[in-house]
Amino acid sequence: MTPNARPVCVHFHIFKNAGTTLDGALKREFGIGWTEFDGPRPNYLLEPEETRAFVETRPVLRALSSHQVRFPLPEIYDVRWLPLILVRHPLDRALSAYKFHRRARTRSAASLQAKRSDLRGYVAWLLDRSEVNLVCNFQAALLSTNTNRAQRPGIAAAVARLREAALAGTVERFGETLICAERALARDFPGLDLSCVSRNVTSERRGRLDERLQELRDGIGSDLYVELERRNEMDFALHVEAGRELDGRLVRMGEDVRTVFEGFRARCAAREAAGVR
């Protein structure tokens, strides 16, 4: 990597982790310097060389979002990677995935299953498919494994990548995560404004996390709920570490967090009032 390597943000767009909202802010701020990058079909995993070729042929690129890019990111002599990672409570994420697939127009296997079954049937179907799947340790697997599908996910690798990221935090503390990211990215992108308006939020989503978790328990039964908890051991650990990492970054920010956060919320509210995303 050269001393003057161009910084490139890469948003690891984890399904149902507020990624569409973050992408809206990135697209607005970077303009033609932002793009999405995924492979030719669903469930495709991009090889490092594919990512390299994509980035090397786009010298104006400063931020990309992908569901299918995986670590390790390729070494490119004139690029300095700035990973962006959001982690979500795994059971809240499972409920959100079901509701999304119920209304999605796609004909993926998960979407078809959600449309023909209730919440319990959807979760049971996924639990039976594989040890790691859309609602079981999905986030830890995405951050720790590469394109070799035989490689087992590991919490240590996922946490290490979280700690090295330019943006690292949780969906539940989205605003705090973004104000930390603005500071972390300010050296490379002065004046970066990540204030945003929520996008792709399930219309019937309940307000509090405890309410949504109770909705999940009521929908799948206590037995399946306990099994889903057990099958998300790594994602629970990752979620805790993401919160700790965010706490540390807020302390190191050296500012009055409440004041900064209120300012961020005011910027978001102004965008929503003006209809500017």
pLDDT band at 259 (very low <50, low <70, confident <90, very high): very high
Eight-class DSSP state of 10:
E
What pLDDT does residue 207 have?
82
Cα–chain center distance at 109: 22
pLDDT band at 151 (very low <50, low <70, confident <90, very high): low
DSSP, collapsed to helix, strand or coil, labels residue 80 as: strand
Lowest mean pLDDT among 50-54, 74-78, 201-205: 201-205
What pLDDT does residue 146 have?
72
- Please check the confidence at residue 96 and state whether its pLDDT lies above 80: yes
| HEC readout, 183-239 | HHHCCCCCCCCCCCCCCCCCCCCCCCHHHHHHHHHHHHCHHHHHHHHHCCHHHHHHH
- Residue 67 has phi, psi (to 5 degrees) of -85, -15
Q: What's the sign of the alpha-carbon dihedral 15, 234, 88, 175? A: negative
What residue type is 95 in one-letter code? Answer: L
pLDDT band at 106 (very low <50, low <70, confident <90, very high): confident
Edge-to-edge strands of the sheet including 167-170?
34-36, 63-66, 6-12, 79-87, 167-170
Report d(CA 48, CA 40) in Å as an integer: 15
- The residues that bridge with 81 in the sheet, in sequence order, are 8
Domain 6-274 indexed as CATH 3.40.50: yes
**What percent of the chain lies above the pLDDT cut of 90?**
85
Q: With contact defined as beta carbons under 8 Å apart, do 38 and 46 qualify?
A: yes
What pLDDT does residue 198 have?
87
What pLDDT does residue 38 have?
96
**Burial degree of 2 (CB within 10 A; 0-12, 13-18, 19+):** exposed
pLDDT band at 242 (very low <50, low <70, confident <90, very high): very high
Q: How high does pLDDT run on average in the chain?
A: 93
What pLDDT does residue 154 have?
84
- Residue 90 has phi, psi (to 5 degrees) of -65, -35
- Please check the confidence at residue 71 and state whether its pLDDT lies above 90: yes
What pLDDT does residue 276 have?
73
Report d(CA 158, CA 143) in Å as an integer: 5
- Say which residue, 154 or 30, is predicted with more confidence: 30
Q: With contact defined as beta carbons under 8 Å apart, do 93 and 205 qualify?
A: no
What pLDDT does residue 121 have?
97
Average pLDDT over residues 127-133: 91
